[in-house]
A and B are shown apart, each in its own frame.
Chain A
Amino acid sequence: MSIASLQCPQPIRHRLAVAPRDYARRDRAIESYEAGEYLTAVHETLGYLLPDIEIPDLAQAPLCFVQGSARVRVHIDDDSLVLSTALMALTPAAQSTAALRYVLTRLSATGQLFQPRLHDDTVSLEFRDRLSLLHPSKLAEVLQRMAMESDSNDGWLAHRFGVEASDREPVAPLDEAEFARALEIWNTHWTTVNELMQESRRRRSVRFLDALGSYAANQVRYTLPLFGSVRAALNESADAYTDKDENPNKRDSALAKCIKEMRQVPVEELRACLGNARFAINPLHEGTPSLLTSMLGAGHRMQTTGELRAVGRSLEAALELIADYLYLLADHSWPSEVEAALRGGLDLVSGKPWREAADALWNHANQTARVYGSHGERARDDEDDGDEDEIRYDA
């Protein structure tokens, strides 16, 4: 094993400046809906989900908001609310049949309220329903999932099938210095993952594979502002190799294939898929004190990591801890002080030998959970300040 430590580079991905959710506004939306004030309920739901957007009077003017590369349009038509977001336009040169099959197989489905629709040669995701049938939880679900699906698939469809991206929001590209650093992170990351992959195969440990898979996906998600075809390919592979219900041999193969494919991504394609997009709806989960406690606090998870340290298996312990920190940062939005604390943990261990990294991050995790977790000092302060049922950060 030649690799002696992991680098935890600073992210190029911009920190999302999305205002925290105003849950009182969601509750007001539900009250309005139950009182039969449907338009007010829609307005409040939009305000709750899109905290940084000025919501117009939809009876008078439509709304368009941006989610990554997707533009989602909202308007009132008669007594119904209509949502739509264009996905692709078929062109004579495109592999239309394959693209349409993909849409019918992957984007059209039971269990979702919006569906793809074809108008002339343009495929959009659409939803329409009466205002009186728009409970805020239903509207919130459609807004979030439809916007996310559109943002996730537009670049993928264009790249894979040669269709034309339609009505897309341009994503600001990285400047040359940022791109050079991104390229270095990208190349170093996949070289490192490839080496750890050999170690995983040598050890034949499912637990090692779990940690490595999480690290492989979340290091990229955290550090690089990926979108389009490369992000879609990475996410599709990650779904396979991080699926703990799947056969470990299949997961191993999926990770090996992913490493190979990611290392072969042409530089220009990677450049075209890197840029900091705008998101009207927070695309990340909201981090909670209880999540910090369950991941980093005293419990089965940390206990088993601690056992690895105790028996000298520092590489596994360090990899698990780093992967957990990256997962918390990549998939969740946090108040700035929590995010800084988590980032501080990675700074502490970046480039450090395995044993030192495992010990330092173990102590840091315990400290972070103690301060910011659900039973932590910070949470207790919050409880003293108010009588909320649920502990929330007030960032």
Chain B
Amino acid sequence: MTPELDLPIAAPQSLDDIERLGVYQVYTGTGTGSGFLIDANHLLTNCHVVQPYREVAIEMRDRSRIIGRVCRIHPHRDLAIVELARAVDGEVLALSDGEQLKPKQGVHILGFPVGLPLSLTEGVISHARQLLDEQYFLQTDAAINPGNSGGPMLDDQRRIIAVTTCKLNAADSVGFGIPIGDVRRFIDEFRAQKVPFGVQCPACEELIDRAVRYCPSCGSDLEANHEFGEYFETPEAHPLVSFVENALASADIDPVLARHGSHNWSFHVGSAPIKIWCCCSEHLNFSSPMAQAGNRGLNELFKFLLSAEHAPFAFDLVGSTVRLNLVVHISDVFAPSEYEYLAERVRAFIKKADATDNLLITQYGCQPAPETQTEYLKGGDHG
């Protein structure tokens, strides 16, 4: 019998099925991050993941998204709590008491690195209380990448011991998490919160619910390092963002749900995936990778795809994936008198994308594209 088997440790919880855990991807107009449920209606993440937005999108496992309203932020400690538009059924992970953390203990990090689906990385605690910029962090050698921010760091018993926040770019394997003690206190104070939105003072941590220059509690100059009033304002959108989001709203697409980082949007309309992005300083691209060409009847398919009847839209082929595209020049975005005309073009594009994937599959022998939501396809079983 080995000595380790005599240790009185709790039985490890399995991390074999991470899909059922309440860890979700957070989307905003500046990027994506991770977050985890603290109950069925609330998600905890980093402040830098949600800022400067008061509404963000949370993606479920089935790729549907729900709105999250930011209720509380602690910019200095980099924490935020988001209230979800509806209750979700992911498993709420337990919080550790955080007292027994030691170097070499295992760390398991859940999150969405570089926008990939939910992933698990592992390492050990390098330092349980590392002092950095006058704050304590849990330091780990586990891989942390952009997109992991706001996700949970777990111990071997699958309890949350920290919240992933940052890493040192100039070094390898030096990542940091916000210690569970700070996280627990942040959550406890949120439970007692009476106002719909508040920002914690960086000095005394008192909750402030309006734009003020000095903290009403401790008198600290709140604008010493940041324009504090900005936490209470809707950020001014770039004309390109206004153009896209107004056009989407006119097509009954919630722009908050569609945001996918800076000058990027993605969503589904019916079965069709739609992506919007700027490829350079000149072009705004709308594209729907809607189907994959089969092996037969290609001459007829290609003639259909190139037919002049599709103008002003156009199809292209990337590998075997058929995409419907619309390209808007950036100068159009600065022609407000033409907004309605262009919005109509965007609406027509969305409508055509939703209709055409069915046509390609039923009449031209195509297969659904990897991102097609097949349950919304009409006309037969498409696997």
Write the residues of chain A forming the contact surface with B, with a CB cutoff of 8 angstroms. Answer: 96-97, 100-101, 103-105, 108-113, 115-119, 123, 126, 128-130, 132-133, 135, 137-138, 141
Contacts and interface: CB of A to CB of B under 8 A. Distances in A.
A141 B308 contact: no
A39 to B, nearest CB: 16
Main secondary structure of the interface of B (DSSP, over half): mixed
Interface in B339-379: 341-342
A138 B281 CA distance: 12
Contacts of B234: none
Interface of B: 279-280, 282-283, 285, 287, 298-299, 302-303, 305-308, 311-312, 314-318, 323, 325, 327, 329, 331-332, 334-335, 337-338, 341-342
Contacts of A117: 306-308, 311, 314
19 contacts: A97-B302, A101-B298, A104-B315, A108-B306, A108-B314, A108-B325, A109-B325, A110-B325, A111-B327, A112-B283, A113-B283, A117-B308, A117-B311, A126-B311, A128-B312, A129-B312, A130-B338, A132-B337, A141-B329
A130 B302 contact: no
B308 A119 contact: yes
Nearest to B326: A110
A231 B299 CA distance: 28
A135 B329 contact: yes
A100 B282 CA distance: 27
Contact of B299 (A97, A103, A109, A110): A97
Contact of B298 (A97, A109, A110): A97
Contact of B280 (A96, A111, A115): A111
- Name the residue in A103, A111, A135 with the highest tally of chain B Cβ atoms < 10 Å from its Cβ: A111
Contact of A123 (B306, B316, B332): B306
A83 B219 CA distance: 66
Nearest to B337: A132
B48 to A, nearest CB: 31
B126 to A, nearest CB: 35
- Name the residue in B282, B306, B312, B334 with the highest tally of chain A Cβ atoms < 10 Å from its Cβ: B306
B306 A116 contact: yes
A137 B311 contact: no
A54 to B, nearest CB: 27
Contact of B332 (A111, A128, A138): A138
A188 to B, nearest CB: 41
Contacts of B316: 104-105, 108-110
Contacts of A100: 299, 302-303, 306
Contacts of A112: 283, 327
Contacts of A135: 329, 331-332, 334-335
Given A111-B327, A137-B331, A138-B329, A132 B312 contact: no
A111 B331 contact: no
Nearest to A100: B302
A135 B335 CA distance: 9
Contacts of B341: 130, 133
Contacts of B323: 110
Contacts of B287: 110
- Name the residue in B285, B302, B307 with the highest tally of chain A Cβ atoms < 10 Å from its Cβ: B302
Contacts of A108: 306, 314-317, 325
Contacts of B312: 128-129
Contacts of A126: 308, 311
B346 to A, nearest CB: 14
A141 B342 CA distance: 20
A104 B305 contact: yes
Contact of B303 (A118, A129, A141): A118
